[in-house]
Structure formats: C-alpha cells, structure tokens
Amino acid sequence: MPERVLPVVMIDQILGHYRIVEKIGSGGMGEVYRAADHRLARDVAIKVLKPSLARDPDRLRRFELEARSAAALSHPNIVAIYDIGMHDGAPYIVSELLQGQTLRQRLSEGPLSPRQTADYGIQIAEGLVAAHQKRIVHRDLKPENLFLTRDGHVKILDFGIAKLTLSEYDDPRSIETMATQTKTGSVVGTVRYMSPEQLRGKPVDQRSDIFSLGAILYEMLTGQRAFAGDTEVDTMMAVLKEDPPEMALARPNVPAAFEPICRHCLEKEPEDRFQAAQDLAFALSTVSETTTRQSVPLRLHKKQFLRWLPWLAALLGLAAAGVFLGANLGPAAGPVYRRITFERGTIYSARFSPDSRSILYGASWNGRPLELYSTVGDSPLARPLGFTSAHMAALSRSNELAVVLRGTPDRRNFTGGVLAQARWPEARHARF
C-alpha cells in the first residue's frame, strides 16, 4: 500500500506553536520543513519523522538521540537545536533555519579550490572538536550532512546516528541502550565515508570521524570519491583494503601538502591517523597559510610605468631605509615556530639531516614503543624509519646513525642496550 504524501497534509499544520510553511528537504529518517515560530517571530526548520518509520522503536530512539546529541552542542559549526516535540505520534526536532546548500550540492558543480577546501575543512574539524569534547561521535559524516551557508560557514547536520561514547549525566549501564547498533556487528552509516572499524562493526571513537573527514577532503579537492566501486560490496572492500589514487592523478593542480594530510586521515588503523580533530585543524591551517600566499602581478603599460617610476623609486628608497633602521635600531624579532609533531607522547632526540631538509627524531607516541621518524620536506607529517626500540645518539654528514638498541630511557639518557651503527635512509637494519 503506497505511503500517503506527507508534504501536502503538513502545509499549514500547527506543531506546538510552529506553523508549517513549506517543505525544504528530506533525509533517510524524515522530512524537513520551514516553519514560522509565532512565539519568537522567526523562521525555523522542523524535521518530522516519516509516518512509515514512526512505529519503528530503533528509528525513534535514533531520532531522539539526534536531538539529545545536537542539543548538547553549542558551536558555530554545528546546527543549533531549539526544541523537540511530538505530532500525531511522530517526534519532530526544531532547529535553526539555514540558507545555502549542502556540500553534496556544491560538489555536483565540481571540486573546490584548495583555499576553500582548507577553510571548510578547518571549520568541520573545529565543529568535531566541540562534539568530541563531549564524547559524541557523529558516525555518519558525509557531504549530505554538511551545509554551506551563504556567509561562508559550514554547519554539521544530523547527529541522528551519533553514538554517545560516555555520558557524565547518565548511568553508564544505559549507554548500550542509546547506541545505534541494535545487534552485534550491525552497521549504520554511509559506506563510502565510513571508517574500516565501523564497517567491521567494531567500537568507534573520534578517529572514525577523522577518517570520514579525510574522505570528504579528498573529494572536495579532486571532485572524485576516495573510495568507489561498482557495487556496495566493492566500495566496502576499497575502504577496507585499498588506498585512494594520488590526488595529482585526479587533479594536477592540488597542492602537494594536502596529500600527506588526507593520507594520514585515511589510514586503515585508527592509531595511525590524527588522534584528535584539533591536530587535523592545525595541519589544515598550516596548508591554508601556504596556499593563500599568492603574488598579484603588476601589469602596467610602458607610459604608465614611466609616469610612476619616480614614485616607485622613492617608495623603494623609503622601504630600504625603513628596513635598515629597523634592523639596526629596532628590537630583535622574536623566534618563529613551526609545529612538527601532532601525536601525544615523549620525544627523546632530534637532529637535522645533512641537507637540512628533514628532521630525524625518536619518539614514543600514544604508549607505543620508541621509534625513529623523519619529517617529509615541508609537510607537517612524518614517516617512521623502521628502527623500533632504538634511541638516536648521533647523525653524521654522510647519513650514518649511531643508535642505542633496546636501551631503557631515563630522564637524560638511556641505560643498558647496545650501541649500533646504521645508515639512513637506505639501510633498515643496524650493523654492529
């Protein structure tokens, strides 16, 4: 039996003190309407659960969880929830009315510029920081759930399948009843943006959202999906086993600095990704600074150039005098820092490579054993060198390493262990 047409009967309906004006969208769980809030004299958005789903207890719990999760968040990059209610046995959520388009609609026009991608990516990451600080994981981050407002802001929508990993207000024993997984191994979300651990039905945390955002960043930059297949099973296998094609193959003008950031987000193992959304936001801000430094060409005709030449010479003279006086009379400039590491842990040693293009260092991240790493050019990321349980003692001009193997770190040095010699980067094994 076909379902009744909801938008026709909802127009001009009164829900609480809201009057439905028009339908503005629909989603997997409900229809979205513009409504007039007579009490506060403003327009709002109302999401009403579809009648065919209102009798499903799991859908109702998920819908209620959307309201509880989103209402607990107050951030400019997360849609604001105003109210919740019931109408003819179906729940509804009242939220701010947004003007603009979804990221999916924008992507239908083609990829975004690197500058715009970095800007939107930072805003999304900052919204996730606010959610993750309250132990809320979105679990369904995708272009359809990201709204681009007309004033250039990004709003994260639909916490309908968000999982509250820990509540300071509820009994911990009730958490399982609030989860969206009703059976062991069941999966909720959108396959091409889901993390491998979520596809496998394993517990997820904030690093699952970071994976999803990495797939979205890749699509914004290249105009192509990071993981795609002819069938849903093929797409799942791509997420679980394959890496996306290099960005330069899909869109040659993508700045190279974006590649390691997206790769770091899309690592198959959660512990290999950015561990927090604020670290991803910092990395994107570093790239954003480099992509926006563009020179503006000066195009003058010969007569115009000759007319302005004396003024240009005078300005250059003043600038040179200012630089000279500033260098000799002004206070010394403060140090400029560039962040190198983004994990949590302990760093034991660091050396510049002979060509000064890389930094080698030893670190123990997130409780893992000590390992040696090197930075990659101007990228904010680093790669492991393959030396585990090794402390770097010295680095020669010919890339020879002196390392202490299997030593025990103390405050200033290593005790025990064996002194070994190795070559970087070709050799992977130390020789005695």
d(CA 48, CA 354): 64
Provide the 3-class DSSP secondary structure of residue 403: strand
58 given a catalytic annotation:
no
Looking at residue 268, what DSSP letter applies?
S
Q: How far is CA 49 from the centre of its chain?
A: 29
Give the list of residues 6+ apart from residue 15 with CB closer than 8 angstroms, or none. 35, 46, 48, 85, 87, 92
Question: Does residue 67 sit in helix, strand or coil?
Answer: helix
**Catalytic site residue from 12, 58, 119, 140:** 140
Distance CA 131, CA 203 (A): 17
Q: Which amino acid makes up residue 28?
A: G
Residue 380, φ and ψ in degrees, nearest 5: -80, 0
Tokens of 284: 């994107």
Cα–Cα distance measured from residue 428 to residue 103, given in angstroms and rounded to the nearest whole number:
44
Instruction: For residue 221, give Cα distances in angstroms to 102, 122, 142, 194.
Output: 16, 14, 15, 19
Q: Active-site positions?
A: 140
